[in-house]
Structure 1
Amino acid sequence: MSPQQKALFLAKKQGDFEVGSRSIPSPGHGQLLVKIQSTALNPVDYKIKDTGMVVTHYPAVLGADIAGIVEELGEGVENFRKGDRVLAHGHRTNDFAAFQQYALTIASFTAKIPPSESFDSAATVPLGLDTAMAGLYGKQFGAGITPPWTKNVCESKQPIVILGGSSSVGSYVIQFARLSGFYPIITTASPSNEDLVMDYGATHFFDRNLSGKRLIAAISKVTDSAIRIVYDAVSLPETQSVGWELLAKNGILVLTLPPSVKEDEGKGRKAFQTFGNPHISKNTELFRSSWAMVEKWLSEGTIQVCSATTVLDLSHIYVAEQA
């Protein structure tokens, strides 16, 4: 294996992407070296490029969603072997990022890809899945409800509203809401995606183009129970405003972008931006338990992969090099 690899660099803050070479890293304790076959493109990638947020050292390699083949094992890794097809949640350091031919992954946040899934489909999972989980189950960055994989779901049913249910994050929120026993599971999307979100587990669908007042009125006819959780996977000011109005006293509005609504002490409602990064200490416990379930979920069809994510197939790079 060549000690050098191709990588897509963000050359400087708010600069352009450039293809270059960098060394292939070696896995340390609890790590894998993965030969990347597919990676997903996420909105955060262009936002980093355009705004210069998050990244402090350049040239930088971006990309969070890894799907590929295990090339080498670090010490202490027991559940994987060379040649395994895996998916993993990358990290915002160059050795662990996805936009290159080889990357390191943390074994705790890596799972085997079942035969039923391709590299492309597996690459749509990590960031979307983890953002959905953090928003629902995270104690620091979420609603803090008990994860369904840690106990039997026997709570009394309560409603949940997911704005943007056909998005990458929204699709996983719907599926976890189903596992957690929410009812009704109310979502918005384009009419062309109604069947899709219902297949994910939504019980009630509304056109995303409805005005805020009409949507609120329609949802009030579905349930008269207090809505204590709204997950806004869109999180634009107009959707945040609708989600905010839907919330009952002491309700939680989970967002994927910074809040544009203001918390009010009188009703006790809270709005906050979730953070689906398994590599920070506040998320470690949650994601270690959830990533232990990912292969099983995908194998059994408990979780369906998202069809809304753009995927970059890197396998042609290796073919070109061998030619």
Structure 2
Amino acid sequence: MQGYGFVAVGGPEQQAFVEVDEPRPGPGELLVTVRAAGVNPGDWKVREGGYGAAAGPAVLGREVAGTVLEVGAGVDAFAVGDEVFGGCPDMLGGWAPRARVTAGFAARRPDGVSAPDAAVLPVAAGTAWDALVQLDLPEGATLLVNGGGGGVGVPVIQLAVARGLRVIATASPAKHGLLTDFGAIPVAYGDGVVERIREVEPEGVDGIFDMVGGDPLRAVASLLTAPERLISIADYGLSTELGGQQIVRDRSTAVLERLAAHVADGRLDPYVTDVRPLADAAAALALVEDGHATGKVVLTP
């Protein structure tokens, strides 16, 4: 089978269509015909050798939506023909006509939720959901989303609003309209950001979800009323130094079912803005790696 991935660990020059053995589901796995696959920053990080991934050649792709072709040993929650979405084992394999999916991190795709919308839920929206559960802010509390215009920022804003939180989000001015549409109060990042946030929330914020790290995170952390209510997915070391938490991912069927329900009832827009054929995988990954994607990017084999 041919899929798009990398021939060896390294930069974009290592990317290529590669020939691999037909996938077969192992215990606790599904084999699906891929209808849509998400593109994430983690994909180029895997290509560069991050997360302890395979040295290559390997097919990229961490999340998919598709139709079950075969179920592995020990799987009784799904059957052949089910429309499902979920995460791929070892964060690999999704950018191909057929892919393995972890049954414990898969869910049925509801009627009314498109394959592209479902395909992008496990990574970005799943991260957002887990962070909000972990922060456990009460209704009416104020959450600061530091770097709110990205792939995780957009769902965390919507999910926070759905939980009854007041959301302030930092982003470039070009994305302020988008953040407002999703229910956040936008604030321009950069010099003076703390003062601009205090103009909106003079008493500080109850929680921070950070996707920037470094000095920008250190600056806004001073706004927290409780240091432990800080999660950064960009700078784990600094988050810990500042008294915050490291995110603990759930990666369960239950989370995916709740996310899909939020999409179905309109509380969550996965914000898929770019759907491309698998032949355009190189350009799609470059768009994400360069930081130029304005929403979620999806490949359709």
> TM-score scaled by structure 1?
0.74
Per-residue deviation, residues 225-256 of structure 1 (Å, max 9, x unmatched): 442311112x1424313332222343433212
- The aligned amino acid for 1:71 is L
Match of 2:296 in 1: 309
RMSD: 2.8
Does residue 292 (structure 1) correspond to residue 274 (structure 2)? The answer is no
1:195 maps to which of 166, 174, 177: 177
CA apart distance, 1:130:
1.6
Alignment map for 1:161-200 (pairs within 5 Å) = 161-182=144-165, 184-200=166-182
Provide structure 1 residue ranges, at least 5 long, that are not aligned to the other structure.
147-154, 277-282, 315-323
Amino acid at match of 2:183: G
- 1:1-323 matches, cutoff 5 A: 5-14=1-10, 16-50=14-48, 54-75=52-73, 77-92=75-90, 97-138=93-134, 143=135, 145=136, 155=138, 157-182=140-165, 184-202=166-184, 204-208=185-189, 211-213=190-192, 215-233=193-211, 235-259=212-236, 261=238, 269-274=242-247, 276=249, 283=250, 287-307=252-272, 308-314=295-301
Aligned residues: 277
* 1:197-230 per-position Cα deviation (integer Å, ceiling 9, x unaligned): 233232x22233xx342x2222223224442311
Shift of 1:186: 0.8
Deviation at 1:53, TM superposition (A): 5.1
In structure 2, relative to structure 1, the CA distance for the partners of 1:249 and 1:85 (3 Å cut) is closer
Task: Kindly indicate whether the alpha-carbon contact (under 8 Å) linking 2:207 and 2:226 is maintained by their aligned counterparts in 1.
Answer: no
Identity %: 25
Contact 2:3 2:95 in 1 (8 A): yes
Distance in 2 separating the partners of 1:295 and 1:126: 10
Retained in 2: the 8 A contact 1:40–1:66? yes
The CA deviation at 1:128 is 0.2
The secondary structure found in structure 2 opposite 1:168 is coil
Could you say if the C-alpha distance between residues 8 and 237 of structure 1 is closer, same or farther in structure 2, counting changes exceeding 3 Å? same
Larger-Rg structure: 1
Does 122-131 or 190-199 show the bigger shift? 190-199
